[in-house]
Structure formats: C-alpha cells, structure tokens
C-alpha cells in the first residue's frame, strides 16, 4: 500500500482545494494518506488585495478562512485521512529559527545559499522575497523585517515537519510548487524521508492542476513531459498546437491573462535598410532564484548582461538596427525595475517600454532576426517564420526550435549571418501542444475562475 504525505499551510483558493483533491484521489486509489497542516503566523501576503485596507478586516477574513478549511480537514478525517495540525510549541525551535533569521546575510545572492543546519532554506526565501517585491536585485539591510519574517517562518516550518516526519514511513510526498519559502522548507524537511517527491501547480489554465516530480522548474523534467504529452496526443494534436499561436497573437486567451489584448496594430514606423534585430526582454524575477543545480547555465547570468552585449554589438556594427521591446509585465514590478528598463536610452537603439501598445507580433514580422532570453516569444517567432535566437534558459531550448548559442562568439556569428534561416515550424508544435494541454482535470473541486470555486464531497458543496 502506498503511504502518502501531503504538507500544506492555509492558503487561498485554489491551492488548498488542490491539496484536498490530491488527498481524496489517493484515498480513492486505496493509499494511506496523512495530511500535515502547518499552522504558522498571520500572513499579510495571503490576504486578498481588496481586504488589505483594514487590519481587523484582514484578521476577520483569516479567521473565517481558517474555520472553513478546518471543516474540510474534518471531512478528510472522516474519509480515512490522518490529519495532523502542526504548531510550534518548543522554545528551542523558536530560538533556533530566531537566530537563523536575525543573523542573515546582507545580499540576496548570499541568502540564496543560506543554510539552516545543512538544509538550504535560503533559496525558497530568496525566491519568495523577489516575487513579493517584484525585483530580482533587492537591497537588503539588517532592518529588513520581511526577509527576517520569511527566514524565521521557513526555519520553524522545517523543524516542525522534520520532527513529525522523523522516520522513513512515507513512500510519496506532495506539496505546492516547492519554490516559495514554506513549500521549499517542507520539501527540505522530507527529502531524505520520502522515496518520491511531487509538487503541484495549476495547469495551463485554472480549470486543471498538474503534478511534477521535484524540482518543478527542471528543464530536463519539463522536456520529458513535453515529449510524453506529444506522444500520447490524438490525431488533432497539430491543429491544437497551431491554435495556441493563433490565440496568443489575437488575444483570445485560454482563461489566462493575455498581453495581446492591449496591443494596437500599425504603430511601427521605422524606416531602415539595416539588418533589423529585435530583442524581447523577459519578466524573470520569479524564476531568478530556483534550484538550478541541474540546469544548463545560459551564456549571460542576467538579462542586463545580454543587454550590454547587444548594445555594444549595435554600436560596433553600423549595418545593425537594434530594437528592444520591454516585456509588458515589467509594468507590474518594482519601481526600480520599471525605471531601469522603461527609461533605457541607448543612442541609435529604439526602445519600446513595457507600457507601449506596440504589437509584439508585428515587430516579429518586421524584424530580420529575433533575440530572447527565454520568454515564449522566442519559439513563437520560429512559428512565424523568423530566425530566433534564445540567449537564456527556456523550456523549449531542447526542442531545437531556436538557435541556442553556447558562448558570445557563437551569438555574434549568428547575429552577423544575413543568410540565417528560421528553424522548422514543426519543432515548435510539441511545446505549444503541451502549454494548452498539460494538467489533470479536477474531480472534487469545481473552478469557477481563478481564486474561485467550490468542493463537492459526498454530495455536499463547500465553498471556501
């Protein structure tokens, strides 16, 4: 019999419901399921945005949220799930976590490798910190309350889960994506105790969820998933894959946010006979700090390094017209990040800021060659018949649908090659199919929209 451990902390819909879904599905399959609910502290960042105006309103929401979810956990218990409500009641656990948080390093790069008794909890903290701030290069100081909070809570979570899970009893372990500060702590507390570790995330849209072998952001793991989905796909897989590109360009999305809806046509008015290179930046702060020990490292550690290379390349070559399209999502990031990218002024280089209505797909058609750092625009450009160069890490890098230079000399050669031809469009199809197909249909949870839906258990409807 499989012995399953699911570790979760109270979070908003649909993540808690997905944990419940996984528990119920494993019970249906005859597994022995244990559910650890880790109860920590008042977490301001979990509260829906429209409630953040009032502390007392926040507190009331959290209390109601907690009561409803405890009701669900009792239902799980009645169906045979072993539910454990984990809290910290040990002063030594508290003191260890306090020491870890108080004496933290003063740079985000050092936080990334900041270990707690041999476990790298810092990488999850760094990932959450830059996501919350919307900035991959935040300035830290000893008074940073947020970084201390994240370090302290991750250390508490690690200790109480590890203490409870002090044997090799479980065969499989499940938690949310494993990237943020708490879920990373759960994974680290169970890595030597579970034979298989799975993390879950939403599917391509809110109507599905997906299970991944840890780590979620492994390019090797995702490439295997892409091959698996393509191999099992039906006769309509080519049409479904091609439909992805059409919908992305027109903004008729898949129940997910689409920047294409903001674009306006016929705004390009650049007259030149030079070789036209368009660089599409990425919004990559959320993936700036992940477990990348198994990843193939890109040429440039950061996008800024690629920007410097392209800027110098354009200056050195009079026959080049460089255009830079700042990713629209930069508009939602930190003030520093928005200022850096949107205020770019480079002589001879045309920069379209994140808030520009310029149609990115018309820019692809206008260009002779496309450069990207890993965003999906890189393989979309190939499908649109343009030579596309990926200078960063991406999930499509192993599909041979873009040029993937291994060093600066190879990149320079590709940019200078006026006869450069696009890769085969067919190479793009497996990843496009995967993007619109991956995920498992919910059985017990009915999503109505993102952050909205209800559970149906034994005929009872439960809306959280």
Write the CATH number for 184. 3.40.50
Same domain for 168 and 245, yes or no, is no
Instruction: State residue 36 phi and psi, 5-degree precision.
Output: -95, 115
How many angstroms separate the CA atoms of 299 and 282, rounded?
A: 15
Same domain for 156 and 243, yes or no, is no
Same domain for 21 and 154, yes or no, is yes
Same domain for 355 and 383, yes or no, is yes
Same domain for 271 and 373, yes or no, is yes
Same domain for 61 and 208, yes or no, is yes
Domains: count for the chain: 2
Which carries the bigger pLDDT value, residue 371 or residue 328? 371
Q: Identify the domain containing residue 407 by its residue range.
A: 234-436
How many angstroms separate the CA atoms of 42 and 59, rounded?
A: 8
Residue 352 CB contacts under 8 Å (≥ 6 apart), including other chains: 323, 324, 325, 326, 358, 363
Up-side HSE of residue 26: CA atoms within 13 Å toward CB? 25
How many angstroms separate the CA atoms of 125 and 147, rounded?
A: 7
Segment holding 120, helix H or strand E? strand 119-120
User: How many residues are present in the chain?
Assistant: 464
The string of pLDDT tens digits covering residues 211-226 is 998 887 777 788 888 9
CB-count burial class (<10 Å; 0-12, 13-18, 19+) for 153: buried
Same domain for 24 and 46, yes or no, is yes
For the chain, give the percent of residues with pLDDT over 90. Answer: 51
Same domain for 207 and 278, yes or no, is no
Same domain for 304 and 352, yes or no, is yes
The string of pLDDT tens digits covering residues 121-146 is 999 999 999 888 888 888 887 668 88
pLDDT at 426 over 80: yes
Is residue 8 helix, strand or coil? strand
How many angstroms separate the CA atoms of 217 and 239, rounded?
A: 27
The string of pLDDT tens digits covering residues 344-360 is 999 999 999 999 988 99
The string of pLDDT tens digits covering residues 322-343 is 999 999 888 888 888 889 999 9
Domain-embedded: residue 85? yes
User: What pTM, to 2 d.p., does this model score?
Assistant: 0.86
Instruction: State residue 275 phi and psi, 5-degree precision.
Output: -70, 125
DSSP assignment of 332-346: GS-HHHHHHHHT---
Domain-embedded: residue 205? yes
The string of pLDDT tens digits covering residues 268-299 is 788 888 999 999 998 766 666 766 555 556 78
Same domain for 251 and 179, yes or no, is no
Same domain for 93 and 210, yes or no, is yes
CB-count burial class (<10 Å; 0-12, 13-18, 19+) for 374: buried
Instruction: State residue 253 phi and psi, 5-degree precision.
Output: -80, -175
Please report which confidence band the pLDDT of residue 45 belongs to, taking 50, 70 and 90 as the band edges: very low
CB 119 within 8 A of CB 97: no
Q: Which residue has the tokens 């499908």?
A: 383
Q: Which of 435, 255, 250 is nearest to 360 (CA)?
A: 250
CB-count burial class (<10 Å; 0-12, 13-18, 19+) for 109: exposed
Which residues on neighbouring strands pair with residue 345, listed in sequence order? Answer: none
How many angstroms separate the CA atoms of 123 and 179, rounded?
A: 8
Structure tokens at 176: 């949310």
Is residue 356 helix, strand or coil? coil
pLDDT at 173 over 50: yes
Domain-embedded: residue 228? no
Proportion of the chain in helix, strand, coil states, percent, rounded to 5: 45, 15, 40
Same domain for 402 and 449, yes or no, is no
């Amino acid at each position: 019999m499989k012995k399953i451990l699911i570790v979760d902390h109270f979070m908003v819909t649909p993540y808690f419901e997905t944990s419940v879904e996984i528990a119920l599905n494993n019970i249906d399959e005859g597994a022995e399921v244990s559910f650890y609910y880790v109860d920590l502290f008042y977490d301001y960042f979990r509260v829906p945005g429209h409630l953040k105006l009032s502390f007392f309103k926040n507190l009331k929401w959290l209390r109601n949220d907690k009561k409803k979810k405890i009701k669900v956990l009792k239902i799980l218990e009645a169906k045979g799930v072993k539910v454990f409500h984990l809290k910290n009641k040990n002063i030594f656990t508290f003191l260890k976590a306090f020491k870890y948080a108080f004496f933290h390093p003063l740079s985000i790069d050092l936080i990334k490798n900041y270990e707690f008794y041999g476990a790298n909890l810092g990488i999850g903290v760094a990932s959450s910190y830059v996501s919350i701030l919307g900035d991959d290069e935040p300035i830290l100081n000893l008074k940073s309350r947020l970084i201390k909070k994240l370090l302290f809570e991750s250390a508490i979570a690690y200790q109480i889960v590890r203490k409870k899970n002090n044997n090799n009893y479980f065969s499989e372990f499940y938690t949310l994506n494993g990237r943020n500060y708490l879920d990373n702590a759960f994974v680290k507390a169970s890595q030597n105790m579970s034979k298989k570790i799975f993390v879950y995330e939403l599917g391509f849209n809110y109507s599905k969820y997906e299970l991944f072998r840890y780590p979620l952001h492994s390019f090797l793991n995702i490439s295997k998933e892409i091959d698996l989905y393509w191999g099992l796909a039906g006769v309509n897989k080519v049409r479904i894959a091609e439909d992805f590109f059409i919908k992305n360009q027109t903004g008729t999305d898949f129940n997910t946010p689409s920047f294409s809806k903001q674009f306006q046509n016929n705004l390009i008015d650049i007259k030149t006979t030079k070789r036209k290179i368009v660089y599409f930046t990425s919004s990559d702060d959320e993936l700036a700090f992940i477990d990348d020990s198994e990843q193939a490292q890109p040429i440039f550690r950061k996008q800024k390094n690629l920007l410097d290379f392209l800027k110098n390349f354009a200056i050195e070559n009079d026959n080049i017209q460089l255009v830079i399209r700042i990713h629209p999502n930069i508009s939602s990031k930190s003030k520093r990040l928005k200022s850096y990218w949107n205020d770019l002024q480079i002589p001879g280089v045309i920069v379209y800021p994140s808030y520009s209505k310029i149609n990115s797909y018309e820019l692809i058609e206008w260009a002779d060659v496309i450069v990207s750092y890993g965003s999906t625009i890189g393989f979309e450009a190939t499908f649109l018949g343009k030579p596309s160069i990926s200078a960063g890490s991406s999930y499509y890098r192993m599909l041979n649908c873009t040029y993937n230079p291994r060093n600066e000399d190879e990149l320079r050669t590709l940019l200078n090659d006026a006869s450069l031809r696009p890769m085969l469009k067919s190479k793009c199809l497996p990843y496009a199919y995967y993007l619109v197909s991956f995920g498992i249909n919910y059985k017990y949870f009915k999503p109505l929209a993102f952050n909205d839906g209800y559970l149906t258990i034994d005929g009872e409807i439960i809306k959280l």
